[in-house]
Amino acid sequence: MHEPHVEADVVVVGAGPAGSTAARYLAAGGRRVVVLEKAAFPREKVCGDGLTPRAVRELELMGLPTPREDGWMRNQGLRMLGGGVRLQVPWPDLAEFPGHGLVHTRSRFDEALARHAEAAGADLRERTSVSGPVLDERTGHVVGVRARPVDEKGRKAGEETTYRAPVVVAADGVGGRLALSMGLAKRDDRPLGIAVRTYFRSPRHDDDWLESWLELRDGEPGGRAGGLLPGYGWVFGVGDGTSNVGLGILDSTAGAGDLDYRDLLRRWLAGMPPEWRFRPEDQVGPIRGAALPMAFNRTPHYTRGLVLVGDSGGMVNPFNGEGIAYAMQSARLAAQAVDTALDAPDDRGRERALQGYPAAVRADLGGYYTLGRVFVSLIGHPEVMRIATRFGLPRPGLMKLVVKLLANLADPTSRDATDRVVVALQRLAPAS
């Protein structure tokens, strides 16, 4: 039955980690939440599938179980390879974060979060494509969206419906179509990464360390020839008989479209040990690629009734390309602001509460992302990356600090010197 008009307290556009997290918190708080997702679960997304303790903490805060029997594979820390050195650094032992990471395929991860939101009372509508915002003629504020059912190929499969709510959460990914329709383009002064990955049936599927290759060369696969590129490769055991293998490169410093990323991945993998079985005959599915919007590359994160979370707001960590933890963290902060706004006695109070969201995101992540932009500008010079890898990896004490910085894992109350250094750097950096 066609519904020409649906009323809600909040409309969430997109059911990725950010959208489902926001929906879960708001629905659990008794809000009427409609989530519009253009695909149907399970659906594929490009990702390394690796979750750091920061992401695991967000799952714990949401109350989502992560048992091994459901495909959640724990990992102990980060294994780094480069300059002929192989170093394993366990995740730090911190009061604020769990002592382990996880690996879970995005197709299963996103569905688990979406169903978790549904269980809290969110109204999830799959295969529903949003065509644009609904604006209040007097104020210009977003007061809803227009959307219609689509089939598995994205073609129109029903009549348009208007979904109305005083607040709309844009969680529609890196493309940010809803934000673009409101005039919010991505910022060219913020870094953008490219990630490509695929799966292989491999005996390394049960490796309980996240593995990062810090020397990524455009040349002889796995060898020492060719130029050093500003990026890294990864090998993550999924635990189901397959490994997730991929690479991430800074788009602006790798040629901005001049480089064939999929071909680079193939050539890099061709030099891997044959017993790992990272070869075409053991590949599961195609090589897929996606953009990584980093360091707040679309702002403001709130404007005229529209809240941006996750990739829509460019929340990816510029240090390591991690997006899920920050998508969920931004969504949690957004849900808090939206919940407060919906209790406000008037429009002025509602706006004041919603403006608290970008302020909270800047306070939590602004200084750290400023440091990340400096890091990105440095590794954009291959010689800097070569020297850092050659002289840094052999020093475990230094790499302990580096891992805490890369993964944003530091305890502000700790007396550990590495924690104090990371926290001090974040506090000194301007939040912009």
CATH code for position 183: 3.50.50.60
Residue 321 has pLDDT above 50, yes or no: yes
Please check whether residues 149 and 270 belong to one and the same domain: no
The count of structural domains within the chain is 3
For 130-171, how does the pLDDT look when each residue is reduced to its tens digit (9 = 90+)?
999 999 999 999 999 999 999 988 888 888 999 999 999 999
- Three-state secondary structure call for residue 410: coil
B/e letters for 222-247, b = 16+ CB within 10 Å, e = fewer, are beeeeebbbbbbbbbbbbbebbbbbb
Find the length of the chain: 432
Which pLDDT does position 390 carry in this prediction? 63
Residue 84 in domain: no
Residue 258 banded pLDDT, cuts 50, 70, 90: low
- Quick check: 75 and 210 in contact, CB under 8 A? yes
Which pLDDT does position 223 carry in this prediction? 43
- Quick check: 194 and 248 in contact, CB under 8 A? yes
Residue of 51, 168, 170 lying closest to 112 (CA atoms): 51
Measured CA to CA, the distance from residue 242 to residue 84 in angstroms comes to 26
Measured CA to CA, the distance from residue 190 to residue 296 in angstroms comes to 7
pTM here? Answer: 0.92
Which structure tokens are listed for 405? 């910085």
% of residues, the chain, pLDDT over 90: 62
Last residue of one domain, picked from the residues 250, 275, 293? 293
Residue 257 has pLDDT above 70, yes or no: no
Residue 93 in domain: no
H runs (alpha helix) in 36-148:
53-62, 106-119
Please check whether residues 168 and 199 belong to one and the same domain: no
Please check whether residues 221 and 139 belong to one and the same domain: no
Average pLDDT over residues 117-125: 98
Element containing residue 297 per DSSP (H, E):
none
Please check whether residues 123 and 50 belong to one and the same domain: yes
Sign of dihedral through CA atoms 382, 387, 390, 393? negative
Please give the residue range of the domain that contains residue 265.
192-293
Please check whether residues 138 and 247 belong to one and the same domain: no
Residue 83 has pLDDT above 90, yes or no: no
H runs (alpha helix) in 204-310:
261-269
Residue 225 has pLDDT above 80, yes or no: no
- Quick check: 167 and 308 in contact, CB under 8 A? no
Last residue of one domain, picked from the residues 370, 392, 410? 370
Measured CA to CA, the distance from residue 65 to residue 88 in angstroms comes to 27
- Three-state secondary structure call for residue 425: helix
Q: 44 vs 340, which has greater pLDDT?
A: 340
**Which amino acid makes up residue 286?**
P
Flag the least confident range among 63-77, 230-244, 249-263, 398-412. 249-263
Average pLDDT over residues 407-427: 79
Please check whether residues 162 and 278 belong to one and the same domain: no
Which structure tokens are listed for 393? 């990896």
Please check whether residues 184 and 314 belong to one and the same domain: yes
Which pLDDT does position 413 carry in this prediction? 79
Average pLDDT over residues 257-273: 82
- Quick check: 140 and 92 in contact, CB under 8 A? no
Please check whether residues 308 and 349 belong to one and the same domain: yes
Residue of 41, 354, 22, 296 lying closest to 169 (CA atoms): 22
Which pLDDT does position 254 carry in this prediction? 47
% of residues, the chain, pLDDT over 70: 90
For 36-56, how does the pLDDT look when each residue is reduced to its tens digit (9 = 90+)?
999 999 998 888 899 999 999
Please check whether residues 198 and 322 belong to one and the same domain: no
Which structure tokens are listed for 157? 């499969």
Please check whether residues 138 and 220 belong to one and the same domain: no
Last residue of one domain, picked from the residues 262, 293, 324? 293
Please check whether residues 147 and 245 belong to one and the same domain: no
Residue 405 in domain: yes
Look over the chain and give the mean of its residue pLDDT values, rounded to a whole number: 88
- Quick check: 16 and 173 in contact, CB under 8 A? yes
For 165-203, how does the pLDDT look when each residue is reduced to its tens digit (9 = 90+)?
999 999 999 988 999 999 999 898 888 889 999 999 999
Please check whether residues 330 and 210 belong to one and the same domain: no
Residue 259 has pLDDT above 80, yes or no: no
